[in-house]
Chains A and B, each alone.
Chain A
Amino acid sequence: MALKLIPYHKMNVLIIEDLAEMRSSMKSMLSAIGVQHTESVNNGEDALKKLRDNTYDLVFSDYELGRGKDGQQILEEVRFNNLVKPSSVFIMVTAAQTQDMVMGALEFEPDGYIAKPVTLELLKTRLVRIIRTKDIYKDINVALDDDNIEDALNSCNRLAMERPKFALPAYRIKGKILIKEGRFEEAKDIYDTVLGIKRVAWAILGMAKVHFYCKEYEQAQNLLESLAKTKAKYVEAQDWLAKSLEEQGKYKAAQKVLMEAIAQSPKSVRRQQALARVAEKNGDIEILWKSCRKAVALGQNSCFKTPDVFIGLAKSLQPKIKNGSMRDKKLCTVEALNLIESARTDFDLNAVLSLRCSLVEAETLINSGKEEEGKLAYRAADTVIEMSTNLSLDDRLDIFNTKLQFETEDDAMVYGKQVLNDIAGNKRLQVKYYQIIEVFLNSRPDDRLALIKERGEELLLREDVEDALDLYLRASTFKDADEDIYFGVLKSIIGRFKKGRPDRHLTQKCDELLKKLESLPESDPRYPTLEQLKFQWEEITGDE
């Protein structure tokens, strides 16, 4: 290949770097190479503004940018919104220590990486290499610049034919274009071909995405799980795995996958949003609160901003508004009302979302003691409820929760019983339903305990030991927990062990409760049951 001179003097260059010394050193090195037009910014928000308003041929982004967006987030928005022409070059500058993690990017990839510390020599070599590699795909990228899809696809084929060494990268680009165009059958063919040659990670992810878009969620899940087994940290693959699980209603599994992904890479808005979504489905208020808070903060000035997390955050503040200290109460009330306000002003809300807003507003007001204002907000919501036909079961449970606070118990329960009827067979929603009633009965401990006992017995009868255990363990922390509750815990733990799912912490709990129940008199009608449980427990623990 003939060596063409790279026209550095014609290039518009943007440097994204938070440290001033690094910015100026980068600038002087670039000018030593011949670059004449450089601009620089010190954070992701300014970078995106610049990228929206100007055209650059070359962008350098530091990966670590202190607070705010990191390099990967910038790249995601850049690729998502086409802020940088396909023929332009985006280079990520990384510390060697973070490099291997960063280089796991499959979906939103830069054109190249440069390792810190950046020296003139290194910059020259890497830049020449990256620009010359990019040049191989020039025809494809120029076609993409003009949005000429057919030309781009043909250029991919031509490159694969003429230079077989570049067939796989050409197919990789082709696959991405086809998915973007919704041409899934063709994309499937491409990935089939590639996987027949080599099981490369990007092709597995590509194939999984095709399955996902074709609603073949289980196949997508299987492929993504096989990718996870290689132990490489492909966070994007985890995102897609969570999405596939979510579509199948496997919310708990999805939450687990997302929490692992977030532990590795916490700054992605969409990942936090996804976690908030499944945590809400799982009724996990703590995680809902954490993920919404992060998603709201990260979503500022982001194209991925959504109203859902504003409403979710307001919702997750309710326990603190209701039961927190005076200070918490005040702060959280203000925060929740502000969030609702922002959701209404910053977004164009659809009917369901504005209903959710009104419900949370009513709840915030009543929980903070402003009953009259709450009633007004509730009445506004109530008229919408009656007209809405396409509410999800999760939404209807939220409505039930609000009704319990604003209507007579009998009226609310009529609605509740209807919902309960409709969620028959859905364990997750049933758990949520009973949690709502349990919280509602907070101020009436006797009724609450009675409800838990009734529900617990029902669960044990169905041998649903996991849910029973959750319920009884929660109840055992109540002040008025009695022997019946302890019996419930024991029965669920023993049931769990019998199903082959032992747990060391539970062993301790079991021993502790058996000790507590030692004082139960022989005359007690439950005494024979206790003897039986003790026997079963000895049988289980004796095996070890």
Chain B
Amino acid sequence: MSNNDIRGELLAASIHEIKNRFGLMFNELDGVLSALALPKEQQKNVQLIKSESQFIGNELVRILASYKSLDDDFAVNVNQHFAIEFLEEVIARHSYTVAAHNLHFSLDCDEDVGGFFDNSILFIILDTCIYNSIKAGAKTIKLSATEDEKYLYLVIDDNGPGFPEELLEGDFSQGSISVESQSTGLGLFFANKLIQSHQEGDLTGSIQLSNNIEEGGGNKISGAKVTLAIPI
């Protein structure tokens, strides 16, 4: 093994350990916090603690998956999933986020819409998008799903300020770490990498970014839109 390999292995093993220990700690903390009878103001702090803990846990899972995605023999575990069940689960997993950030989720999806994907990977991608929206200041997030003959589309719309022009113009799939945007680009870079590992024939998964324009309001941006296309 080269030094770089060893460095990578060391970090991965250590993050794995931290993730597990953190999970244990989080469970204990959750139990303790739930058992406490706290005044209203402190309830708010508790919600924030829970939400931030969950964020850290998700972040560690995401780092590990991103790390593994760089392996030559990285492969996804594709199974059939129905979009409504998956998206409901995404929202359910974010109950702490909702409470701590006054977030509102909505869901728009027909029962029969579905496709083939690795749901543990898609959870990570959706997390990346949701946390990006929160960071940008969005208060409502709409999840929706549609399909055509080739792709299943999972769409995340928010009511935040929209993506900056550079990000829409630039090719984030090439990966750029910009200090100003607080590495948002890197999150999407890995999300893109992860979704690209979903392939069927000559079709490949992809992420498209765009901004929603307010109806009848000239060119005013009404939020960001992320479209995940997963080949069927």
Contact = CB atoms under 8 A, between A and B. Distances in A.
Do A and B interact? yes
Interface of A: 1, 19, 21, 95-98, 100, 103, 114-117, 119, 121-122, 125-126, 129, 133, 165, 168-169, 198-202, 229-232
B76 to A, nearest CB: 8
A126 B77 contact: no
B85 A198 contact: no
Contact of B75 (A122, A129, A229): A229
The 3 A-B pairs at the shortest CB distance, nearest first, are namely A97-B23, A232-B77, A230-B75
A125 B88 contact: yes
B114 interface: yes
B135 interface: no
B107 to A, nearest CB: 9
B27 interface: yes
Contacts of A103: 119-120
A165 B112 contact: yes
B27 A97 contact: yes
Interface in B76-102: 76-80, 82, 84-85, 88-89, 92-93, 95-96
A98 B24 CA distance: 10
Nearest to B124: A100
Contacts of A229: 73, 75
Contacts of A119: 95
Contact of A122 (B35, B54, B76, B92): B92
Contact of B79 (A95, A201, A231): A201
B26 A21 contact: no
A9 to B, nearest CB: 24
Contacts of B23: 95, 97-98
B68 interface: yes
- The residue among B20, B68, B92 with the most chain A CB atoms within 10 A of its own CB is B92
Given A100-B120, A133-B85, A168 B57 contact: no
A200 B79 contact: yes
A117 B30 contact: yes
Nearest to B80: A168
Contact of B89 (A115, A117, A198, A199): A115
A97 B84 CA distance: 22
Nearest to A64: B27
Contact of A97 (B26, B34, B79): B26
B78 A199 contact: yes
Contacts of B78: 198-200
A129 B85 CA distance: 7
B111 interface: yes
Contact of B34 (A1, A21, A98, A126): A21
A115 B120 contact: no
B57 A21 contact: no
A248 B173 CA distance: 47
A119 B88 CA distance: 14
Contacts of B85: 129, 133
